[in-house]
Structure 1
Amino acid sequence: MEKTWRWFGKKDKITLSMLRQIGVEGIVTALHDIPNGEIWTVEAIEDLKNYIESFGLRWSVVESLPVSEAIKYAGPERDQLIENYKVSLANLGKCGVKTVCYNFMPVIDWIRTDLAHPWADGTSSLYFDKVRFAYFDTRILQREGAEQDYTAEELAKVAELDKVITEAEKDDLVDTIIVKTQGFVNGNIKEGDQNPVAIFRRLLKQYEGIDRDRLRENMRYFLAAIMPVCEESGVNMCVHPDDPPFQVLGLPRIVTCENDIDWLLNAVDNPHNGLTFCAGSLSAGIHNDVPALAAKYAKRTHFVHLRSTNVMENGNFIESSHLEGRGRLIDLIRIFEKENPTLPMRVDHGRLMLDDADKGYNPGYSFHGRMQALAQVEGIMAVVNDDLKR
């Protein structure tokens, strides 16, 4: 597989020259300065592509060309936004950038409650605490009907937490759940926005009356509309699984398991409609057998995210070492190197370690933590490929 790295553009503190030195071959990035829904021009694409190539690298994957919320909830501007999306796809194809990772998660992308959960060795990683998330949902966001989504035991723990949680901790939950983990991903909420909770409530309100079936139909409509452009331009679309792969905040999540993946690949049965196989997202769902899913969908996978999680009995989960956890990356690499060896892959959500902590990196995207993960994965790939040659 091609060794790629998510890079956040020319302003990223991690430079392309640094990435070249650690063995990265391809870059995963986007035109982050262009607002959601606007057209990516050939000129803007070529400028970034040429810059990447000047360092001896290639622009391997777009992550992401965002799907605007109005496409997901079928707002009145949906068709115009899809037309803009089609133009951007065609322009990417003209420039030779042929793989687009995207998601269809309403309002919120990946969710964690702690961005620096400590490990005994002094490193830290991302963490999801179900009770703290329930506290955010029921006591801070105060979403109508939120209590129905949690068990009596979980709500009792929320009540206990309410007795001791500080205002600073509450602010940190808001910053973690709806600012820091979202601002650099989908642009709905960004650093510096006043009263992000109020903004978030307005975003949620747009999805009133949107259930799983309705969201699925909106996704099918979007994919059916863009597939002719994908065929003509040779662009592969690969949807990212929901993270975590279960329902949250009263919102439908429709890429969570084998049944969901079967549905989306069959709803618009086209080889350009494929999957980003994110082992971390899928492994956070105790219902998912990650290697079995990799074996089943290897041929419809266009991009791989290699990370892993450990899930606790109470539903909490943590980003594990890339050599451990439910993602079973060793098994996945065996599958993908045998079944679809030209895939781009990137390591994901590395530990915060050494002097990463004071660099201001985006959450989950440290330099040394991901460099360690890349070295671990590269070693696995070398052993697997040596075995395959025998």
Structure 2
Amino acid sequence: MQETWRWFGPDDPVTLENARQAGATGIVTALHHMNQGTVWTTEEIMKRRREVEAAGLTWSVVESIGVGEEIKTRTGNYREKIDNYKQSIRNVARAGIPVICYNFMVITDWSRTNLMHRLPNGGYALRYDSIDFAAYDLFVLRRRNAEKDYDAARIAAAEARFATKSAAEIAELERVLIDWLPARDFAYDRQSFKAMLELYQDIGTEELRANLIEFLREITPVAEEEGVRLCIHPDDPSFPIFGLPRVMSTAEDVRALFAGVPQEACGLTLCTGSFGSNPKNDLVAMAKEFAPRIHFVHLRNTTHEPDGSFYEADHLGGDTDLIGVAAAMIAEEARRAEAGRADAQIPMRPDHGHLLGDDVGKTMNPGYSFVGRLKGLAELRGVMRTIEAFRNGRLAA
């Protein structure tokens, strides 16, 4: 697999030089200042490409061209936004960037309750605490009908947890849940977030799935024509939150999407951390089943707790067999090469990483510090090289 690195642009405290030091050859980035549904212009795309190439790297994957709420709900000026999306695909393709990752998560994008969960080794991880989440949803946000999403025991536990929290702790929980994402150029407060939730009162899972499929039926022919591959990122976490519909959380969701949009250009970003947040997902089985349409891979791991909480573990720790996933992807690369596919090499990146060493105390995008991802990529590189050695007969079983 091609080793790539997420970079948030010139303001990212982790530099392109750092990415090269980590051993990456490809960069995963986006025009984060143009994520409100406008057309990505050729001028801005080429400017970013030149920045990447000046550092001796290749812009391998766009992550992401944002999909606005108008498209997800098919309301307002969604038609204009879809037309803009098509033109952005054309411009990206003509600039030589072959893969476009995107997501269809409504309102929140990825969600955690704690960006600084202390680990036994003194490092820090991202964590989703199911009780903290319910406490916020029920007793701070006071979302309409929220109590219907929790059983009596969970409500009682959330109320008890809420009673222990200071005003500062509640404010930090709210910031993490609704007011923070890396490279997003807008923020919600409590009232604007509740107003956004109201947009989805009449949109359930099947309605959202239909909207996703209609969107992809429009943009996939453009991707095919231009020779680029689209790959949807799963929900994170891969289960419902805030009463919102989820359409990319399980293997069945992927099957439904691929049945609705059968073109190979419409594919999947296999994010093992996002799918892995739902312990019902078998990531090795999913890697094998969907391999021909996996166009991009995010490798990270999670450790689950009995109440539905989880935290992001070491890349080779946690509950997901990343060695098995990597083996499935390397086998798929060999199959593609034998078939003569131009996309035989699949880009991967070490997704997220613990906050470690000298990075502690520095300003970093949570999950995207240098040392933690350096460690993860080094571990994953060792796994990939070992698998390849077995496949090539250089090592005996």
What is the TM-score normalised by the length of structure 1?
0.96
The residue aligned with 2:369 is 366
In structure 2, do the counterparts of structure 1 residues 35 and 241 end up closer, same or farther at CA, with 3 Å as the change threshold? Answer: closer
1:352 maps onto 2:355 in alignment = yes
Q: Could you tell me which amino acid in structure 2 is paired with residue 214 of structure 1?
A: E
By how many angstroms is 1:183 displaced? 5.2
Deviations 1:253-312 (A, max 9, x none): 000111100001111111110000000111111111110000101111000000010111
Runs of 5+ consecutive residues of structure 2 not aligned to the other structure: 334-343
1:198 maps onto 2:191 in alignment = yes
Contact 2:203 2:245 in 1 (8 A): yes
By how many angstroms is 1:326 displaced? 2.2
- Greater alpha carbon shift after TM alignment, 337-346 vs 263-272: 337-346
Q: Could you tell me which amino acid in structure 2 is paired with residue 65 of structure 1?
A: I
Match of 1:311 among 304, 311, 322: 304
SS at match of 2:234: coil
Q: Could you tell me which amino acid in structure 2 is paired with residue 258 of structure 1?
A: A
Deviations 1:127-161 (A, max 9, x none): 11101000111111110110111121111111212
Cα distance in structure 1, aligned partners of 2:54 and 2:166: 49
Query: Mapping of 1:16-95 within 5 angstroms?
Result: 16-95=16-95
The residue aligned with 2:251 is 258
Contact 2:18 2:370 in 1 (8 A): no
Q: Could you tell me which amino acid in structure 1 is paired with residue 363 of structure 2?
A: G
Match of 2:379 among 359, 376, 381: 376
The residue aligned with 2:266 is 273
Q: Could you tell me which amino acid in structure 2 is paired with residue 358 of structure 1?
A: G
Q: Could you tell me which amino acid in structure 2 is paired with residue 100 of structure 1?
A: I
What is the TM-score normalised by the length of structure 2?
0.94
Count of paired positions:
383
Contact 2:182 2:365 in 1 (8 A): no
Cα distance in structure 1, aligned partners of 2:93 and 2:384: 30
By how many angstroms is 1:357 displaced? 2.4
Cα distance in structure 2, aligned partners of 1:349 and 1:324: 14
- Greater alpha carbon shift after TM alignment, 352-361 vs 249-258: 352-361
Runs of 4+ that moved beyond 3 A: none
The residue aligned with 1:234 is 227
The residue aligned with 2:339 is none
Runs of 5+ consecutive residues of structure 1 not aligned to the other structure: none
Cα distance in structure 2, aligned partners of 1:117 and 1:43: 41
Cα distance in structure 2, aligned partners of 1:152 and 1:133: 15
Contact 2:128 2:309 in 1 (8 A): yes
The residue aligned with 1:184 is 183
Deviations 1:68-120 (A, max 9, x none): 11000111311110000000000001101111110001101111111111111
SS at match of 2:116: strand
Cα distance in structure 2, aligned partners of 1:258 and 1:334: 19
Cα distance in structure 1, aligned partners of 2:35 and 2:348: 26
Two-structure CA RMSD over aligned residues (Å): 1.1
1:323 maps onto 2:316 in alignment = yes
Contact 1:290 1:326 in 2 (8 A): no
Q: Could you tell me which amino acid in structure 2 is paired with residue 373 of structure 1?
A: G
In structure 2, do the counterparts of structure 1 residues 24 and 69 end up closer, same or farther at CA, with 3 Å as the change threshold? Answer: same
By how many angstroms is 1:162 displaced? 2.5
The residue aligned with 2:174 is 174
1:163 maps onto 2:156 in alignment = no
